[in-house]
């Protein structure tokens, strides 16, 4: 959520910036609503004040044994008046709040303009795609051909479309990737490893802004309480700081967690129907940082680098792109996508998305730090990125390290995790 004060004071500037994100800020509607709010709030609070001071008078008078009927006389009308005003005020504030909840974050100044992904800018390219002397296969062909490999048919029986069963060496490779990623982030990049709930409440989803706008992407549980399966570890991990005031010396907080992610993938029916690219359940190693506002720009660069290291160690060719305004996520001020080379598609596909949310999530969560310069609680900045999406990393390895006979070489960096297995066949 944006700062309501800022919207009040700089509506035109913000509207201009939000146009980059293809969002049309309704300044007029906001001005009207806020004008009504202001008037009504003043009246309501004046009435509350009157009620409070008269009630205190009654208390005093009673203690002194005096007659209170005179003071009591006007109270009934104040009460009624207050009740109706309060109700209207609540309605107004809800309407304002609903609107503000739907306003996306302001893009950073260096975010390129553009309507869709075609306007994203390539920042960096690492490695070069291998040249194959034979006809290449895609990951599902490769995986299904393996004796102990990918088994989509069984998963369909067990559950339905967009799930997979991994067997034997592939399952091990999947597990090895998780260990490998977590080890690097904890040992080399300074993140604390967390194990978190895979089910969260609605409040947490509001905090990181999956709700109220993106509820259709979530799996909701049938339960007395509003419980949801997490769509990403970002939700439980970032919400750790919800309603907290952090001490400056404890910042930055750097967390990593491996979790499954559950997405209903509503509205993506035609896309990536084959294979493991888009599943209802996949696993991810997430990295999250909670930082002082002045440090969030540098933190995004660092965090993205941390995700890149994984790709480099795995010898997977990739490129780094900065998302243009139109492609930027709802809460993000700036996002780098890391895209890995997929030989079967002859293109780069997203394998990590690293974003800085500035104070957007922090305001929703009331996640603050005590600024020693002011002594006051101020909002933190939050960042997160995939480091990396495990299923897609597995796909990339299968495809990039495939050999003519359909076997797959394991990248050297994973050898310590594979119990001697060097080739999948």
Stretch that binds RNA, among 22-30, 46-54, 230-238, 338-346 (CB under 7 A): 46-54
Active-site residue flag, 6? no
Contacts from 311-315 at CB under 8 Å and sequence distance 24+? Answer: 311/126, 311/338, 311/340, 311/351, 311/352, 311/388, 312/126, 312/127, 313/180, 313/184, 313/411, 313/413, 314/393, 314/396, 314/397, 314/411, 314/413, 314/414, 315/127, 315/400, 315/411, 315/412, 315/413
Binding RNA (rule: CB under 7 A), the pick from 6, 29, 60, 213 is 60
Pick the piece of the chain touching RNA (CB under 7 A) from 38-46, 111-119, 142-150, 261-269.
38-46
- Choosing from 350, 370, 403, 407, the catalytic residue is 350
Query: What sign does the dihedral 238-288-316-408 (CA atoms) show?
Result: negative
For RNA, the closer of residues 96 and 170 by Cβ is 96
**By CB under 7 A, which span of 34-42, 136-144, 209-217, 253-261 interacts with RNA?**
34-42
CB neighbourhood size of 287 (10 A): 29
Beta strands 318-322; 121-126: pairing state: antiparallel
Q: How far is the CB of 55 from RNA (least distance, A)?
A: 4
CB 103 within 8 A of CB 1: yes
Beta bridge partners of 320: 124, 338
> Per the residue annotation, which of 263, 363, 364, 368 is the catalytic one?
263
Kindly list the distances between the CA atom of residue 350 and the CA atoms of 100, 166, 257, in Å, as whole numbers in the listed order: 30, 22, 20
Dihedral sign for Cα atoms in the order 117, 123, 127, 128: positive
- Indicate if 69 belongs to the active site: no
Specify the DSSP class assigned to residue 293.
G
Query: How far does Cα 35 stand from its chain's mean position?
Result: 33
**11, 15, 58, 194: which one binds RNA (CB under 7 A):** 58
Phi and psi (nearest 5°) for 92? -60, -45
Please select the residue that binds RNA; options are 63, 65, 69, 249, rule is CB under 7 A. 63
Which residues, 295 to 334, sit near RNA by CB under 7 A? none
Number of residues that bind RNA (CB under 7 A): 31
Residue 3 or 350 having the CB closest to RNA: 3
| Shortest Å, Cβ 202 to RNA | 12
What are 125's strand-pairing partners? 319
Q: Compute the least distance from the CB of residue 242 to RNA, in Å.
A: 13
Residue from 54, 88, 292, 305 in contact with RNA (CB under 7 A)? 54
73 contacts RNA (rule: CB under 7 A): no
> Closer CB to RNA, residue 78 or residue 148?
78
Using the contact rule CB under 7 A, the part of the chain among 18-26, 56-64, 234-242, 409-417 near RNA is 56-64
By CB under 7 A, tell whether 59 contacts RNA. yes
Integer-rounded Cα radius of gyration of the chain: 27
Name the segment binding RNA (CB under 7 A); options: 57-65, 102-110, 207-215, 330-338.
57-65
Cβ proximity to RNA, 25 vs 418, nearer residue: 25
| Candidate segments 48-56, 100-108, 250-258, 331-339, binder of RNA by CB under 7 A | 48-56
Q: Under the criterion CB under 7 A, does residue 75 sit at the interface with RNA? A: yes
Q: What is the number of residues in the chain?
A: 425
Member of 31, 32, 42, 221 binding RNA (CB under 7 A): 42
- DSSP assignment letter at 216: G
Q: Which of residues 167-226 bind RNA (CB under 7 A)?
A: 224-225
Which residues pair with residue 245 across a beta bridge?
368
Told to judge if 350 belongs to the known catalytic residues of this protein, a careful annotator would answer yes
Active site residue 392: yes
CA distance 328 to 332: 6
Confirm whether 353 is a catalytic residue.
yes
Pick from 357, 250, 402, 378: nearest CA to 2: 357
Write out the catalytic residue numbers: 263, 278, 350, 353, 392
Residues that bind RNA (CB under 7 A): 4-5, 38, 41-42, 45-46, 48-49, 51-56, 58-60, 62-63, 72, 75-76, 79, 224-225, 245, 366, 368, 376-377
């Amino acid at each position: 959520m944006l700062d309501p004060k800022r919207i009040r004071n700089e509506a035109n500037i913000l509207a201009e910036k939000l146009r980059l994100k293809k969002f049309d800020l309704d300044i007029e509607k906001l001005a009207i609503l806020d004008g009504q709010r202001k008037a009504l709030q003043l009246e309501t609070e004046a009435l509350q004040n009157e009620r409070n001071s008269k009630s205190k008078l009654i208390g005093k008078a009673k203690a002194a044994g005096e007659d209170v009927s005179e003071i009591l006389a006007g109270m009934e009308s104040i009460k009624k008046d207050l009740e109706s005003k309060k109700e209207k005020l609540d309605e107004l504030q809800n309407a304002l709040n609903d609107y503000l909840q739907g306003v996306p974050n302001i893009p950073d100044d260096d975010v390129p303009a553009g309507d869709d992904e075609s306007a994203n800018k390539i920042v960096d390219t690492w490695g070069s795609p291998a040249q194959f002397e034979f006809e290449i296969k895609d990951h599902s062909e490769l995986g299904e051909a393996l004796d102990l490999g990918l088994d989509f048919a069984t998963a369909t029986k067990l559950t339905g479309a967009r799930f997979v069963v991994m067997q034997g060496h592939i399952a091990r490779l999947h597990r090895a990737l998780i260990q490998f990623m977590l080890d690097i982030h904890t040992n080399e990049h300074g993140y604390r490893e967390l194990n978190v709930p895979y089910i969260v409440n609605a409040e947490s989803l509001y905090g990181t802004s999956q709700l109220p706008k993106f509820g259709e992407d979530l799996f909701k549980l049938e339960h007395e309480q509003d419980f949801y399966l997490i769509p990403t570890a970002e939700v439980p991990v970032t919400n750790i700081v919800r309603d907290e005031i952090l001490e400056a010396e404890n910042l930055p907080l750097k967390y990593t967690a491996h979790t499954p992610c559950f997405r209903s993938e509503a509205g993506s029916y035609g896309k990536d129907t084959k294979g493991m690219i888009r599943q209802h359940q996949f696993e991810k190693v997430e990295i999250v940082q909670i930082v002082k506002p002045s440090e969030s720009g540098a933190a995004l660069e660092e965090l993205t680098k941390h995700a890149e290291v994984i790709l480099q160690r795995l010898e997977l060719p990739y490129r780094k792109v900065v998302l243009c305004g139109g492609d930027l996520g709802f809460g993000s001020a700036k996002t780098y996508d890391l895209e890995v080379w997929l030989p079967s598609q002859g293109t780069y596909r997203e394998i990590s998305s690293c974003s800085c949310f500035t104070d957007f999530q922090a305001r929703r969560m009331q996640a603050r730090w005590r600024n020693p310069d002011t002594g006051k609680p101020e909002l933190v900045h939050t960042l997160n990125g995939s480091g990396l999406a495990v299923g897609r990393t597995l796909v990339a390895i299968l495809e990039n390290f495939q050999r003519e006979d359909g076997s797959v070489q394991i990248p050297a960096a994973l050898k310590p995790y594979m119990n001697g297995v060097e080739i999948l066949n």
